[in-house]
């Protein structure tokens, strides 16, 4: 028990060693001292709460928020000391906010519990006591042998023992893990592959040693020791032996595997890790505004307390005849009385801090995020994919982007490869009518019949057909003759590949006569001009980003041992000792200049002695449990040397639709675009020019191929000098990965200076972590710009997570980028609408929402402060407790929420067609200290008019009520409150440009609801209320004609100056957005929707209406003529 507690607190991690030992079928050794290891059970827990900890844990999380904690303190103060207002005034709004948030979070967690129970209760079959036993998924233990049938998902991470195939292989799709839909082949070790029955498996005595759980889906290091009679056989286990939880079995009847990682230790569960919390600039502004208002609150409370004691310095005011002190009050400590009075004033003014702001902002973000998913302009019909929102907290950040970092392949391009050219033995070839034709030769025969291939051409094509990870649809490999017609011409084979490059090359080879027809056991079958050949696959040297190449070792039909290698020219050419190296290098550069993706192909022959040495080294490295990757890398480097170069390939990756227009629009919006790619320099520059990232007129500067700090620094200084000299011309910068590493090491400041003065930057030959470093460099620069990263592959994940806003493209390179992003879209062209329309709207809406909240609370509490000057700072409240409680919850909450969901100050088509309007909201323009100061001063100004207007018009006359009754303090307070509710609601109406029936309903409905509620509240004696100060007050107030006159006059006086200010600013200093509104109005909008809509026919006030339309720049949802 104590050990479990220590583990939960993180003091005693459960895994003490770097490896775990698993006894298959849980056959533990009978002799010797054995301490069984503790493993997690197979329950998946994605929920956050339990029935027992929901209340305390949720309350703890909610009270970590400053505003919630502040109101809790105020509520406790009201309970402890004698305060002017009831504890309910603070307690009820706090209870409402806490309850709404808890219900939302509780419901979300209940859904997670429901999903967990469904997964954990799924039926599975395990081998126990010589037979198959049906049990629930949550009951699987590490070491159990599990049976999985075709099309079922794996319930745990399994090491494959056997399948229904003789060679022990099976096909798996990992679409739910990484989005890759291609079939992956997994293989069992030969000794267990033959155990295809439950009875045989039950006799298996074996031990697996493997690494402890880790999140990397593509890494697994282990070994299996099988006991057979008196000998023990050791075999290496790698990713090809591990079947991951969540993956699905395909094209295989059934498999048996042993559970190695269970429950929350499976790789799928470890990838649930929560991303680092990103906070938007608006949230940071909101918190700083709250602090300012807290200072205002403290100032008002301290000032009131000081003035109270200054006033009470005179004896007649300290203890007036009608309010004598008790003996206890006279003898109490002055310091305690001062603190008590200060706290009482704090309670009286505490509503200046808007408690409901957080919950309203959360609702706005959560509900507003649905609009992105519902937008049909962001729906891609071909792939049936709509935009998705993974994080609603950053909606408004889409309107603040200053830098866009984009991947190239699959993001700017389609990631659909088409073979274009190749170079074989120093000669360039093109594919013409299904034949390889040397450059400059014309092909007379139009048909695609078979023709002879030269020896070098055939060897090159065989290398392409053998060195890959392509799979063939299982249905096409059945039958004696395979997919061939009688005349020897192949019917199209359906290939699957994780790499589109490989698929394009294998398909191209099949078209020109060398066809990869599939694998059979450990053999690869190829048909060269109709003649079948079988190559035994001996070893696969897997691709990795550091080597940038992959290799296979095969045994040819003649018994020769051959190594075929393909990869980037930078990793193949330096390792080649023969072949047409110089000519091939020239051809590769030519391909790159055309924007083609290039790969080099080479081979090597092994002598029997060399092959024996290689096998020995590979076995040692692959069975190592420590530092396996490093050892394998050394062995791979030893093998892949002294190569003979065969040639190079060039495949084209087409640009996505409207990429050029999107990049140009981003540039017009003032957003700088950086392209970060792993492609070689020439390819990247060519694509940058074709997609409009670089202009033909742009002066392109280069920082490439630097090997030392000194040369890199010197080049940077020269570039900075050139930019200063040619400051009129636009500059583009190209930098490669090695030069970037040098620049960031010692000369970061100079490099940033050069980059910021360039209109476009292209970084090529970039490793994934370098992409993230570049983003972090800009993100943490002194200007602190808002960054956005967009990519489609696993190599873009670090960049996406580093940027303020990460966007995943639903491409062909899996779903890692989408899973780790904040937003996901199907095509790069959708980025323009996401930023210019959705981002613009979200930012305007939330900026107004936040500032309006502060404005209406200043309006609410300032009259309370002013009233203290008229009641000797006796802490008498101006408003009734019910009004204090319901002001933010009921009377003024809905209009601003609906505004923040539906407001469109400019039509979406105008925003998208005029990207320059995006500049109007950049750099947090609408939520800086200047607009915040305006709203705050406006709030104080309106509050003064409410209070002194009511006082001047009604305060002096005490007999204006219809029955001659005196005009009391509750009537005066209710008059101020009524004027305030109407004014702040009408202010929201003035800010609204886009009116729907919902806006009309909540705006006018809020005012009507206030009047109806007040009539009921004050018109009936409620038995559950201790005192009812408001009884009949509101009815009497409305019976006075003077009161109605005062209400109308004060509301008009408040809003008139606001309207005048808007009109003057629109005419004297109009923004681009306001000009667009005027253009839009004159070109088709004929409706003044601030108050009502007119028909197309003439009305009595047509001329006035037109003038007001032009002044206010309104737009209507229904009256746009297109």
What is the set of active-site residues?
407
Contacts made by residues 986-991, CB under 8 angstroms, sequence distance 24+: 986/1051, 986/1055, 987/852, 987/855, 987/942, 987/1054, 987/1055, 987/1058, 988/852, 988/895, 988/896, 988/899, 989/895, 989/1090, 989/1091, 990/1055, 990/1058, 990/1059, 990/1062, 990/1090, 991/848, 991/852, 991/899
Q: Are 419 and 651 spatial neighbours (Cβ–Cβ below 8 Å)?
A: yes
Contact present, 850 and 928 (Cβ < 8 Å): no
| 842, two tokens | 């979200």
Task: Give the separation between CA 933 and CA 221, rounded to whole angstroms.
Answer: 61
CA terminus-to-terminus distance, the chain = 73
DSSP 237: E
How far, in Å, are 525, 564, 576 from residue 605 at the CA level? Answer: 20, 9, 13
Q: At what angle do helices 997-1019 and 894-902 cross, to 10 degrees?
A: 170
* Spatial contact of 118 and 47, defined as CB atoms under 8 Å apart: no
Token pair recorded at residue 261: 């990682």
Distance CA 920, CA 924 (A): 9
Residues 6+ apart with CB under 8 A from 941: 1057
Give percent helix, percent strand, percent coil of the chain, each to the nearest 5. Answer: 50, 20, 35
Count Cβ atoms within 10 A of the Cβ of residue 619 and give its class: 0-12 exposed, 13-18 middle, 19 or more buried: middle
Residue pair 621/634 in contact (Cβ under 8 Å)? The answer is: yes
Strands 531-544 and 805-809: unpaired
- What is the distance between the alpha carbons of residues 442 and 456, in angstroms, rounded to a whole number? 20
DSSP label at residue 197: S
Q: Are residues 214 and 268 in contact, defined by beta-carbon separation less than 8 angstroms? A: no
Closest CA to 899 of 999, 1005, 1006, 982: 999
Residue 207's DSSP bridge partners are 23, 225
Provide the β-strand partners of residue 149.
254
| 1018 contacts: CB under 8 Å, gap ≥ 6 | 1030, 1031, 1032, 1033, 1034, 1035
Contact 190, 184 (CB under 8 A): no
DSSP element (H, E) containing 175: helix 175-178
Angstrom distance (rounded) from CA 771 to CA 547: 18
- Retrieve residue 882's tokens: 């019910």
Q: Residue 424: beta bridge partners?
A: 427, 647
Distance CA 873, CA 345 (A): 9
- Give the residue from 977, 975, 954, 988 showing the smallest Cα distance to 1058: 988
254-280: burial string, b at 16+ Cβ within 10 Å, e else: bbbbbbbbbbbbbbbbbbeeeeeebeb
Q: How far apart are CA 987 and CA 1058, in angstroms?
A: 9
Distance separating alpha carbons of residues 559 and 565, to the nearest angstrom: 19
CA–CA distance, 470 with 473 (Å, rounded to integer): 10
Number of H helices, E strands in the chain: 40, 35
Q: Tokens standing for 735?
A: 């930098």
| Bridge pairing between strands 427-432 and 435-438 | antiparallel
Please return the burial class of 951, using the count of CB atoms within 10 Å of its CB with bins 0-12, 13-18 and 19+.
middle
């Amino acid at each position: 028990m104590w050990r479990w507690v220590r583990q939960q607190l993180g003091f005693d991690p459960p895994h003490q060693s770097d490896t775990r030992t698993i006894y298959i079928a849980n056959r533990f050794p009978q002799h010797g001292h054995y301490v069984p290891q503790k493993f997690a059970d197979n329950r998946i827990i994605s929920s956050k709460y339990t029935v027992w900890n929901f209340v305390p844990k949720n309350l703890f999380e909610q009270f970590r928020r400053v505003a919630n904690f502040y109101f809790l303190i105020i509520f406790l103060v009201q309970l402890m000391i004698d305060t002017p207002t009831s504890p309910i005034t603070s307690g009820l709004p706090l209870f409402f906010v806490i309850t709404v948030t808890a219900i939302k979070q509780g419901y979300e967690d209940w859904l997670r519990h429901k999903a967990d129970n469904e997964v954990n209760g799924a039926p599975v079959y395990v081998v126990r006591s010589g037979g198959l036993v049906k049990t629930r998924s949550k009951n699987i233990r590490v070491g159990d042998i599990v049976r999985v049938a075709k099309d079922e998902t794996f319930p745990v991470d399994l090491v494959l023992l056997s399948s229904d195939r003789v060679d022990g292989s099976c096909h798996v799709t990992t679409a739910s893990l990484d989005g890759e839909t291609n079939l992956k082949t997994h293989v069992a070790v030969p000794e267990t592959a033959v155990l295809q029955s439950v009875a045989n498996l039950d006799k298996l005595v074996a031990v697996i040693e493997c690494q402890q759980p880790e999140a990397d889906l593509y890494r697994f290091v282990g070994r299996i020791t099988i006991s057979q009679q008196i000998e023990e056989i050791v075999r290496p286990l790698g990713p090809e032996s591990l079947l991951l939880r969540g993956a699905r079995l395909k094209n295989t009847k059934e498999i048996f595997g042993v559970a190695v990682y269970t429950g929350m230790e499976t790789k799928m569960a470890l990838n649930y890790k929560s991303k680092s919390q990103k906070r938007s600039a608006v949230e940071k502004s909101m918190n700083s505004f709250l602090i300012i208002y807290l200072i205002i609150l403290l100032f008002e409370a301290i000032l009131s307390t000081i003035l109270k004691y200054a006033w009470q310095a005179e004896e007649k005011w300290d203890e007036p005849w009608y309010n004598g002190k008790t003996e206890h009050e006279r003898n109490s400590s002055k310091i305690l009385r001062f603190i008590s009075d200060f706290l009482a004033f704090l309670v009286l003014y505490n509503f200046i801090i808007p408690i409901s702001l957080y919950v309203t902002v959360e609702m706005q973000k959560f509900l507003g995020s649905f609009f992105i998913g519902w937008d049909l302009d962001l729906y891609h019909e071909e792939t049936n994919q709509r935009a998705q929102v993974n994080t609603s907290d950053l909606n408004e950040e889409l309107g603040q982007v200053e830098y866009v970092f984009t991947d190239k392949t699959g993001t700017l391009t389609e990631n659909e490869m088409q073979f274009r050219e190749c170079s074989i033995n120093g000669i360039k070839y093109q594919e013409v009518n299904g034949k390889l034709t040397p450059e400059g030769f014309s092909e007379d025969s139009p048909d695609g019949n078979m023709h002879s291939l030269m020896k070098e051409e055939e060897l090159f094509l065989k290398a392409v057909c053998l060195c890959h990870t392509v799979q063939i649809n299982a249905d096409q490999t059945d039958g004696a003759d395979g997919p061939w017609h009688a005349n020897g011409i192949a019917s199209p084979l359906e290939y699957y590949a994780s790499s589109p490059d490989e698929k394009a090359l294998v398909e191209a080879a099949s078209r020109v006569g060398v066809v990869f027809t599939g694998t059979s056991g450990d053999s690869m079958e190829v048909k060269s001009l109709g003649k079948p050949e079988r190559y035994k696959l001996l070893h696969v040297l897997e691709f990795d980003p550091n080597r940038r190449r992959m290799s296979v070792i095969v045994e040819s039909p003649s018994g020769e041992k051959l190594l075929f290698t393909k990869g980037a020219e930078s990793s193949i050419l330096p390792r080649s000792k023969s072949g047409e190296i110089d000519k091939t290098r020239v051809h590769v550069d030519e391909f790159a200049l055309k924007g083609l993706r290039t790969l080099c192909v080479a081979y090597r022959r092994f002598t029997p002695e060399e092959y024996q040495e290689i096998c020995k080294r590979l076995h040692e490295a692959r069975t190592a449990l420590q530092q396996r990757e490093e050892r394998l890398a050394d062995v791979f480097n030893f093998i892949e040397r002294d190569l003979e170069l065969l040639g190079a390939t060039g495949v084209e990756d087409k640009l996505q639709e409207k990429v050029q227009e999107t990049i140009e629009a981003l540039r017009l919006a003032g957003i700088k675009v950086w392209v970060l790619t792993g492609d070689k320099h020439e390819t990247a520059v060519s694509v940058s020019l074709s997609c409009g990232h670089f202009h033909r007129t742009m002066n392109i500067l280069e920082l490439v191929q630097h090997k030392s700090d000194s040369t890199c620094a010197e080049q940077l200084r020269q570039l900075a000098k050139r930019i200063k000299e040619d400051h009129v011309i636009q500059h583009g910068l190209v930098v490669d990965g090695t030069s970037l590493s040098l620049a960031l090491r010692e000369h970061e400041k100079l490099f940033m200076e050069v980059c910021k003065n360039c209109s476009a930057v292209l970084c090529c030959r970039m490793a994934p972590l370098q992409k993230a470093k570049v983003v972090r460099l800009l993100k943490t620069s002194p200007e602190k710009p808002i960054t956005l990263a967009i990519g489609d592959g696993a190599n873009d994940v670090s960049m996406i997570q580093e940027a303020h806003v990460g966007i995943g493209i639903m491409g062909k390179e899996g779903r890692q980028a989408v899973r780790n992003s904040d937003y996901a879209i199907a095509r790069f062209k959708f980025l323009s609408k996401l930023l210019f329309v959705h981002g613009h709207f979200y930012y305007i809406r939330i900026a107004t929402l936040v500032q309006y909240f502060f404005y209406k609370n200043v309006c609410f509490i300032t009259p309370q402060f002013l009233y203290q000057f008229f009641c000797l700072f006796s802490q008498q409240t101006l408003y009734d407790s019910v009004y204090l409680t319901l002001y933010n919850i009921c009377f003024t909450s809905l209009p601003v929420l609906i505004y923040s969901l539906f407001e469109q100050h400019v039509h979406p088509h105008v925003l998208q067609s005029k990207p320059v309007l995006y500049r109007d909201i950049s750099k947090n323009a609408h939520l800086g200290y200047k607009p915040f100061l305006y709203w705050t001063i406006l709030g104080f100004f309106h509050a003064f008019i409410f209070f002194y207007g009511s006082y001047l018009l009604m305060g002096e006359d005490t007999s204006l009520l219809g029955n001659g009754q005196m005009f009391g303090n509750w009537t005066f307070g209710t008059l101020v409150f009524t004027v305030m509710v109407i004014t702040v609601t009408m202010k929201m109406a003035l800010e609204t440009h886009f009116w729907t029936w919902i806006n009309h309903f909540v705006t006018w409905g809020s005012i009507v609801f206030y009047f109806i509620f007040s009539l009921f509240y004050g018109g009936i004696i409620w038995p559950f209320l201790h005192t009812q100060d408001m009884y009949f007050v509101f009815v009497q107030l409305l019976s006075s004609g003077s009161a109605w006159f005062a209400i109308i006059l004060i509301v008009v006086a408040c809003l008139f100056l606001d309207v005048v200010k808007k009109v003057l600013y629109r005419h004297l200093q109009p923004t681009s957005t306001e000009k667009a509104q005027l253009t839009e109005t004159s070109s088709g909008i004929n409706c003044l929707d601030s108050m009502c809509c007119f028909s197309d026919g003439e009305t009595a006030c047509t001329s006035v209406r037109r003038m007001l339309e032009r002044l206010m720049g309104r737009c209507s949802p229904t009256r746009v003529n297109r």
